[in-house]
Amino acid sequence: MTKNDVGWVSADFGDWVGAGGALLLLADFDGTLAPPAPDPGEVRASAAVRQALAALPRPPEISVAIISGRDIGDLRARLGIQRLIYAGCHGLEVSGPDLAFRHPEAERQTRMARMRQTVREHNIYRWAGLLLEELSRIPEEAGSVRVP
């Protein structure tokens, strides 16, 4: 680092971006932007976090993305910031300005998330050792949720 460096940002960063480089600022939602909660449905980003994300400058060479294991619709609803890139199902579905991607695996992950939600809603977690499985005729499409 040189004396003009600020923390981890090199003084050469501006030159790099100016020469056509790009930057992706990527942050996780659960446990990073929003504190954990006993019920995943109660997890919320604070107003200060939402305001900071909304206020970030967005020159064309800098993109801001939020990633989560949550369904992309759930993630978008919890932040509600239009100019962000949202990556749901651990990156299997991505949506943002001029960007849309959905891997075929995302549908299975969404079904698994719904199954976990049903487990929470019906308080099935109280049955220790329970294993819920999504059965499929194609083994690699099956999934499971283990109750701790």
Give me the active site residues, please: 28
Query: Residues 26, 67: contact at Cβ < 8 Å?
Result: yes
* Alpha-carbon torsion, ordered 117, 120, 126, 131, to 10 deg: 0
Query: Residues 84, 53: contact at Cβ < 8 Å?
Result: yes
Q: Which residues contact 25 (CB under 8 A, 6 or more apart)?
A: 56, 62, 63, 64, 65
Residues in the chain: 148
Query: Residues 54, 45: contact at Cβ < 8 Å?
Result: no
